[in-house]
Amino acid sequence: MYKSNLKNHKTVHLALIGLGGTGSALLSHLGSLHAGLQATGGPKLQVTTFDPDTVSPANLARQRFYPADLGKNKALVLTERVNLCLGTGWQARPEKFSASHLHNFNIIVSCVDTRAARADIAGVLKKENKAPYWLDCGNTAKTGQVILGRLGTALALPSELHPELIDISLEEDALPSCSALEAISRQDLMVNPMVAVQAADVLWKLLHEGELKHSARYFDLENGQMVSRPVP
């Protein structure tokens, strides 16, 4: 069992890195998480989103965007939508996350699609004495995982638990999808929402219950299996 004192904070600052298939779905769940924490006397959730990309037609099926969003920055359009619906004051940064941003957050959530991006995050965290929690979300075509880690605790960093996540020699040449049909052929339609739900549940347990029995979850949509890794 791992215990956290974040539930006792007045405000928890969270960085959501990447607003693609998983990140765009997770942002919606973070709105529900914020409302749930407020209803139960928990901390205020302050989210900052990071993504330099714009919405393309290929994003419309697997990501939380609509035709009216085409050409707009992903972080700006989704964050504005949440703020209008919930009255939150969350911020959007239409840029990549960098080391200069690290000290502003209690939790960073990475929903990135390359090993190089994860390697950058891991490199920054290992240089810090008081590093934030790192929740990494990843998937293949039909499998996914969410892993929560923090330096100096029983929660191993995602990059320590699975070094292959940051091994750029394994990086595949993945060109952007040109159509929604092609995007779905590369990744199952429901794999990203499944990752997002698991990530949101880990955050709920961390911020509402203040304790975790498992620090990593893995699922396979092909055979309907899910397993988790207990906290040492």
- Per-residue pLDDT, 181: 44
Strands 133-139 and 2-3: unpaired
Structure token digits, residue 188? 């199952």
- Per-residue pLDDT, 178: 46
Cα within 13 Å of Cα(64), Cβ side = 21
Q: How big is the chain, counted in residues?
A: 232
Domain count of the fold of the chain: 1
CATH number, domain of 62, equals 3.40.50.720
Q: Whole domain around residue 21: which residue ranges? A: 2-230
Residue by residue, pLDDT tens for the chain (232 residues) are: 899 999 999 999 999 999 999 999 999 999 999 999 999 999 999 999 999 999 999 999 889 999 999 999 999 999 999 999 999 999 999 999 887 777 789 999 999 988 888 998 888 887 766 689 999 999 999 999 999 999 889 999 999 999 999 988 876 645 454 444 445 456 788 999 999 999 999 999 999 999 999 999 999 999 999 999 999 8
- Per-residue pLDDT, 182: 46
Structure token digits, residue 160? 């320590």
Phi, psi (degrees; rounded to nearest 5) at 63: -120, 160
- Per-residue pLDDT, 129: 61
153 conformational bin, left if phi > 0, alpha if psi -120 to 50, beta if neither: beta
DSSP state of 73: B
